Amino acid sequence: MTGAGSFKTAVGISGIWVGAPDLWSFSTLAEVSACPRRYALRRASYPEIWDRPGYPERVNEAALLGTAVHDGVELVLRELSRTGCSSIADEQAVAAIRRLGGYSKIATRCLDEHLQRLSANPRMAPRLDGLRAQIDNRASEMRRGIQALVSQSPAAPNKPERGRRQDGDPVKRATLGEGRHLETTLVAEEARFAGRLDLLVVHSDRADIMDFKTGQPSERHNLQLHLYGLLWQLDETANARRLPVGSLVLGYVDGAVEVEPPSDWGELHDWLRDEIANAESQVRAQSPAATPSVECWHCPVRQLCDEYWDSPFTGGVPDSSFVDREVSILSRNGPTSWLGRLTRDGSEVLLRSSRDCEALALGSDVRILNLLAGEAEELDGMILTMTRSSEVFGPIQR
Binding region for ligand SF4 (CB under 6 A): 35, 37-38, 41, 290-292, 295-296, 299, 301-302, 305, 307-308
Q: Nearest approach, Cβ of 14 to ligand SF4 (angstroms)?
A: 17
Report the residue number, 31 or 74, with the smaller CB distance to ligand SF4. 31
- What stretch of H or E contains 280? helix 265-283
Report the residue number, 41 or 245, with the smaller CB distance to ligand SF4. 41
Report the residue number, 283 or 290, with the smaller CB distance to ligand SF4. 290
Q: Nearest approach, Cβ of 282 to ligand SF4 (angstroms)?
A: 12
Give the whole-angstrom CA distance, residue 90 versus residue 84: 9
Q: Under a CB-based contact definition with an 8 Å cutoff, are residues 130 and 388 in contact?
A: yes
Report the residue number, 41 or 106, with the smaller CB distance to ligand SF4. 41
The burial class, CB within 10 Å (0-12 / 13-18 / 19+), for 184 is buried
Q: Nearest approach, Cβ of 33 to ligand SF4 (angstroms)?
A: 11
Q: Return the bridge partners of 7, or none.
A: 15
Nearest to 195 by CA among 221, 231, 220, 226: 231
Q: Return the bridge partners of 186, or none.
A: 195
Q: Nearest approach, Cβ of 292 to ligand SF4 (angstroms)?
A: 4
The DSSP code for 167 is T
- What stretch of H or E contains 325? strand 322-334
Q: Nearest approach, Cβ of 320 to ligand SF4 (angstroms)?
A: 17
Q: Nearest approach, Cβ of 306 to ligand SF4 (angstroms)?
A: 8
CA distances from 166 to 94, 173, 184, 185, 203 (A): 26, 11, 11, 13, 23
Compute φ and ψ for 352, nearest 5 degrees.
-130, 150
Report the residue number, 37 or 143, with the smaller CB distance to ligand SF4. 37
Q: Nearest approach, Cβ of 333 to ligand SF4 (angstroms)?
A: 31
What single string gives the DSSP state of each residue in 225-276? Answer: HHHHHHHHHH-TTTTTT-PPEEEEEEEETTEEEEEPPPS-HHHHHHHHHHHH
Report the residue number, 280 or 307, with the smaller CB distance to ligand SF4. 307
Compute φ and ψ for 56, nearest 5 degrees.
-55, 130
Q: Nearest approach, Cβ of 9 to ligand SF4 (angstroms)?
A: 11
Give the whole-angstrom CA distance, residue 122 versus residue 109: 22
What single string gives the DSSP state of each residue in 85-138? Answer: -SSTTSHHHHHHHHHTT-HHHHHHHHHHHHHHHHTT-TTTGGGHHHHHHHHHTT
Compute φ and ψ for 188, nearest 5 degrees.
-105, 95
Report the residue number, 56 or 246, with the smaller CB distance to ligand SF4. 56
What single string gives the DSSP state of each residue in 326-345? Answer: EEEEEEEEETTEEEEEETTT
247 Cβ contact partners less than 8 Å away, ≥ 6 residues apart: 154, 208, 209, 258
Report the residue number, 175 or 291, with the smaller CB distance to ligand SF4. 291
Q: Nearest approach, Cβ of 396 to ligand SF4 (angstroms)?
A: 16
Report the residue number, 35 or 135, with the smaller CB distance to ligand SF4. 35
Report the residue number, 281 or 287, with the smaller CB distance to ligand SF4. 287
Q: Nearest approach, Cβ of 287 to ligand SF4 (angstroms)?
A: 11
